[in-house]
């Protein structure tokens, strides 16, 4: 009798749990997940913060006892093929999968950390984990002054959610427009108008250079310093590059994410931006794979849910005897921003800013607040952005993903092809 292959997965997020579900009984799987919460889908955190969903709604499908919740992997011993955990356990593996996701980028702001300190001031939060979301949720309410730093997908989602909870929200975006990576200037202007109508005050080309804090509250009674519990500073506002100071009760750091590569680096695996993997999602050690936000495939670190799931599916197929090459994902970004007078849906894919010589077809309706644009290079659809009216997104995405030649672009933009 041959015993089952021992697969250890580090990371109980979207990618790690999808892989465990797909392997379902075909291997002896253990998933190590450092977070103590029931595993959840981060994509839904903004809805939890907005109060539209209870945290349970964001739960990922359960994988049963293969998941060790609240256990962190602290070291990978490649020679012994063992993972060491923070609870002292050592788990041997035949195949190791790194699905460690990413960390929020903490920008170099003056006053963010004390010299030698590692704690963010009270009231300052990243927006990456359920803990971040619950802490923000507990702190927000009508009239609370919130500053969101960063105007990408995360910052826009957080600002909208905080506004829905009645906060006075200021969004500070260093770049020229919102969601610069996905949207062109016209689409960003519509998004800007939608958020403004929700009460979000947006400042573009606005660099925050520091946070201001109040000293820790004095302790009741006079305890000797060695026995006194540590008190943290509390944020009072932010300071802009021109010296202007803005008061804030909450500051949200939405300045992007960075692949979590520490374990892999310490184990001597090849790292560039993420953990480098080949078309079989193998790292520089063929017994170790990486999937999801922590992986870098063909120079790309996606940081999106769709590629994380596709990578998990491809790896599960390979590990169950159906070698499947992963050749990359054509990732589409979608976002729905509910508002008082209707939601704003947006979708963007590929290159939304044309190069010289590209053809562009654009349909804009200012009254209905819809905007559709596609960019064509030669005979190929290379990108597009849709706002307000997404019925054609399926047909467009299929044409783009399949690298097909669009025969009637106008038709493709105005008709969903019956799908
Ligand atoms: C607020 C928010 C909104 C988003 N919205 C969208 C969206 O609209 N569309 C989209 O496509 N994507 C979105 N994303 C990105 C998407 O959530 C990620 O791409 C996806 O979660 C990646 O899955 P993953 O499994 O690679 O990483 P994660 O989901 O981050 O899971 C990794 C897990 O590994 C754990 N871990 C790390 N190191 C260890 C260790 N040493 N030991 C044990 N456990 C460890 C972490 O704690 C974490 O739970 C959003 C992300 C956020 C935060």
All CATH 3.30.390.30 domain ranges of the chain, comma separated, are 343-414
CA 101 to ligand 1 centroid distance, Å: 5
Closest atom of ligand 1 to 13 CA is: 31
Comparison of pLDDT for 2 and 396, the residue scoring more: 396
Lowest-confidence segment of 63-67, 223-227, 280-284, 355-359 by average pLDDT = 223-227
Residue 285 CB-density burial (10 A; 0-12 exposed, 13-18 middle, 19+ buried)? middle
The mean of the pLDDT values for the chain is 93
Q: Are 232 and 216 in contact (CB under 8 A)?
A: yes
pLDDT surpassing 90 at residue 317: yes
User: Using one digit for the tens of pLDDT, what is the confidence trace for 125-139?
Assistant: 999 999 999 999 999
- Mutate which of 305, 310, 329, 348 to test ligand 1's pocket (most atoms within 8 Å of Cβ)? 305
Q: Ligand 1 atom 37: the closest Cα is on which residue?
A: 100
Cβ neighbours, 10 Å, residue 152: 18
Q: pLDDT for 141-192, tens place per residue?
A: 999 999 999 999 999 999 999 999 999 999 999 999 999 999 999 999 999 9
Tell me: domain 343-414, CATH 3.30.830.10, correct? no
Q: pLDDT of 59-118, one tens digit each?
A: 999 999 999 999 999 999 999 999 999 999 999 999 999 999 999 999 999 999 998 888
Q: Measure 311 CA to ligand 1 centroid, in angstroms.
A: 14
pLDDT band at 1 (very low <50, low <70, confident <90, very high): very low
Q: What is the residue with the minimal CA distance to atom 29 of ligand 1?
A: 13
Residue 225 pLDDT greater than 80, yes or no = no
Residue 146 confidence (pLDDT): 98
pLDDT-derived band at 281, boundaries 50, 70, 90: very high
Domain 124-216+231-253, CATH 3.40.50.1860 — does that match?
Answer: no
The reply to whether ligand 1 has any atom less than 6 angstroms from the CB of 60 is: no
Q: Whose CA is nearest to atom 12 of ligand 1?
A: 304
Atom of ligand 1 nearest to the CA of 18: 25
CA–centroid distance, residue 303 to ligand 1 (Å): 8
Nearest Cα residue to 309 out of 38, 103, 10, 41:
41
Q: What is the reported pLDDT for 230?
A: 60
Q: Which atom of ligand 1 is nearest to the CA of 85?
A: 42
The token pair at 372 is 């559709």
Q: What is the pTM of this model?
A: 0.94
Q: 6-103+257-319 sits in which CATH class?
A: alpha beta
Res 410: pLDDT: 78
Q: Is residue 32 within 6 Å of ligand 1 at its C-beta?
A: yes
* Ligand 1 proximity of 12 Cβ (cutoff 6 Å): yes
pLDDT digits (tens, 9 = 90+) for 257-274: 999 999 999 999 999 999
Is residue 263 within 8 A of residue 78, CB to CB? The reply is no
Distance CA 313, CA 308 (A): 9
CA–centroid distance, 304 to ligand 1, in Å, is 8
| Confidence check: pLDDT of 417 > 50 | no
The predicted pLDDT at position 29 comes to: 98
Q: Is 306 a pocket residue for ligand 1 (Cβ < 6 Å)?
A: yes
pLDDT for the residue 386: 95
Q: Ligand 1: does its nearest atom lie under 6 Å from the Cβ of 369?
A: no
Whether the CB-CB separation of 301 and 314 falls below 8 Å is answered with: no
The response to whether residue 127 sits with its C-beta less than 6 Å from ligand 1 reads yes
Ligand 1 centroid–CA 365 distance in Å is 36
In this prediction, residues 53-64 reach a mean pLDDT of 96
Distance in angstroms (rounded) separating the CA atoms of residues 349 and 374: 9
Q: Which segments of the chain belong to CATH 3.50.50.60?
A: 6-103+257-319, 124-216+231-253
Here the tokens at position 389 are: 């009216």
pLDDT value, residue 419: 42
What is the pLDDT at residue 218? 67
Question: Ligand 1, atom 49: nearest CA belongs to which residue?
Answer: 13
Compute, in angstroms, the gap from residue 11 CA to the centroid of ligand 1. Answer: 9
**Has residue 409 got a pLDDT over 60?**
yes
pLDDT at residue number 220: 64
Better-scored residue on pLDDT, 331 or 102: 102
Residue of 50, 96, 293, 300 to mutate, ligand 1, most atoms within 8 A of C-beta: 293
- Ligand 1 pocket residue status of 128, Cβ below 6 Å: yes
84 lines ligand 1 (CB under 6 A): no
Distance, C-alpha 174 to centroid of its chain: 19
Number of Cα atoms under 13 Å in the Cβ half of residue 322: 7
Whose Cα sits closest to atom 53 in ligand 1? 128
User: What one-character DSSP code corresponds to residue 189?
Assistant: H
Contact 108, 211 (CB under 8 A): no
Give the distance (Å) from ligand 1 centre to CA of residue 16: 10
Q: How far is the CA of 285 from the centre of ligand 1 (A)?
A: 23
């Amino acid at each position: 009798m041959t015993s089952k292959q021992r697969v250890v997965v580090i990371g109980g997020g979207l990618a790690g749990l999808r892989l465990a579900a797909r392997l379902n009984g075909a291997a002896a799987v253990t998933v190590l997940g450092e977070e103590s919460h029931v595993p959840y889908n981060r994509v839904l955190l903004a809805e939890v913060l907005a109060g539209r969903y209870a945290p349970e709604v964001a739960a990922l499908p359960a994988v049963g006892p293969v998941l060790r919740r609240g256990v962190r992997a602290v070291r990978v011993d490649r020679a012994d093929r063992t993972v060491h955990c923070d609870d002292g356990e050592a788990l041997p593996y035949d195949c190791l999968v790194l699905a460690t996701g990413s960390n929020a980028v903490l920008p170099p702001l003056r006053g963010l950390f004390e010299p030698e300190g590692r704690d963010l001031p009270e009231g300052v939060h990243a927006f990456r984990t359920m803990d971040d979301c619950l802490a923000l949720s507990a702190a927000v309410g009508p009239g609370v002054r919130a500053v969101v730093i960063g105007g990408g997908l995360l910052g826009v989602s957080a600002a909208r959610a905080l506004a829905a909870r009645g906060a006075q929200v200021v969004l500070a975006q260093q770049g020229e427009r919102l969601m610069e990576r996905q949207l062109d200037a016209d689409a960003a202007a519509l998004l800007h108008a939608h958020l403004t109508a929700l009460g979000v005050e947006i400042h573009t080309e606005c660099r925050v250079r520091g946070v201001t804090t109040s000293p820790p509250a004095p302790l009741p009674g006079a305890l000797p310093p060695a026995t006194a519990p540590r008190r943290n500073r509390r944020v009072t506002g932010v300071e802009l590059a021109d010296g202007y100071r803005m008061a804030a009760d909450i500051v949200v750091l939405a300045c992007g994410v960075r692949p979590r590569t520490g374990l892999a680096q310490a184990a001597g695996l090849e790292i560039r931006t993420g953990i480098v993997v080949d078309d079989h999602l193998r790292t520089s050690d063929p017994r170790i794979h990486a999937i999801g936000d922590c992986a870098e495939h063909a120079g790309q670190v996606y940081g999106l849910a769709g590629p994380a799931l596709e990578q998990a599916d491809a790896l599960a197929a390979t590990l169950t005897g159906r070698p499947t090459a992963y050749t990359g994902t054509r990732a589409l970004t979608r976002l729905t921003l509910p508002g008082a007078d209707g939601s704003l849906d947006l979708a963007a894919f590929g290159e939304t800013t044309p190069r010289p010589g590209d053809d562009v077809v654009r349909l804009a309706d200012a009254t209905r607040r819809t905007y559709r644009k596609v960019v064509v290079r030669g005979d190929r659809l290379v990108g597009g952005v849709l706002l307000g009216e997404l019925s054609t997104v399926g047909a467009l995405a299929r044409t783009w993903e399949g690298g097909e030649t669009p025969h009637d672009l106008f038709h493709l933009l105005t008709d969903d092809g019956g799908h």
